[in-house]
Amino acid sequence: MRIAVFDSKQYDKTAINAANVQFDHDIVFFDDRLNAKTVPLAQGFDVVCPFVNDKLDAFTINQLAQLGVKLITLRCAGFNGVDLKAAAAHGITVTRVPAYSPEAVAEHVFALLLTLVRKTHRAFNRIRDGNFTLDGLEGFNLHGRTFGIVGAGKIGLATARIARGFGCQILAYDPYPPAECDVDCEFVSQEDVFKRADIISLHSPLFPTTHHMINATTLAQMKPGVVLINTSRGGLINTLALIKSLKSGHVGGVGLDVYEHEEGVFFEDLSDSMLKDDILARLTTFPNVVITSHQGFLTTEALDNIAHSVLQSIDDFIQQRPLGNEVKASA
């Protein structure tokens, strides 16, 4: 089978080519994202491998089916960009990488959080300008704070373990809490997490039921000065409501590795052009907002795990073995 890898960067090519020594698949890399405009590039391929911001709507799925594509193997955990019902209707199998490295994303939560609460980004810029003063750089201890986890899957629990190491009290919400939990945490309602936590870290998938779970109403429920971290899906947050809460001073800090309108911006070099997204541009002006470009997954270990998982799913599909990472449309 021939495999088309879309939205590929150099780090993707390096990791996938290294892993492919074991599998010897026929792989071609495309810089383009897979969507309705670029779907003709899939001609002659049996498998497509999209990334998180590729858009496989019903039209694109239909075109893939006509081109003879049999498998969509996502190299990410999120699958909200794929019309699963359309894929099922055309007999196209969909797989994902649900747990490439929970620790990679969990550790990035604290990269964002510590930058915010200890203001190291501002200190770094001062030092480079020869300013060694400490005025305005006062932070706060994580030890003793109440840390809220929304979404207690593998990444959420990995985040909770690190938070426990900092001496935080952990509150967790998940509509389907794990049967076994090795973290000392208290499972409560989502509303309780919002009301009681000093720091809230989002780890929920993006579904219609979770879209804009952070909105004007839920932000108002949170403690004054709350710090909000999102390394999951941008659409969990209503960004306009967040900006309003930042302007009022109710939200004390925000760390974002994802953004609801990130497609066409994140992963791209726009340094020689104007940022056309006024909402994102406004976010970048707040001194208590830290934004990274969806890099929580970007560790050597995670890239290696992603590559092996994707190629193993393809191999299992070819050999007609059970697909542990298959994603199906809900009934």
Phi-psi category of residue 18: left, alpha or beta, with phi > 0 → left and psi -120 to 50 → alpha? alpha
What's the order of all strands across the beta sheet hosting 146-150?
186-187, 169-173, 146-150, 199-202, 226-230, 251-256, 289-291
* Cα–Cα dist 209/235, whole Å: 11
Give every CB contact of residue 300 below 8 A, 6+ residues apart in sequence: none
* Cα–Cα dist 243/286, whole Å: 9
**How far from the centroid of its chain's Cα atoms is residue 101's Cα?**
12
- What are residue 255's DSSP bridge partners? 229, 290
Q: Helix, strand, or coil here: 291? A: strand
> Which sign, positive or negative, has the C-alpha torsion 7, 12, 17, 23?
negative
* Cα–Cα dist 140/235, whole Å: 29
What's the order of all strands across the beta sheet hosting 26-29?
26-29, 2-5, 47-49, 71-73, 93-95
**How far from the centroid of its chain's Cα atoms is residue 252's Cα?**
22
Active site residue ranges: 233, 262, 294
Identity at 202, one-letter amino acid code: L
Is the CB of residue 222 less than 8 Å from the CB of residue 199? no
* Cα–Cα dist 72/49, whole Å: 6
Q: What is the DSSP letter of 259?
A: -
Token pair 């990995």 in the structure block, residue: 158
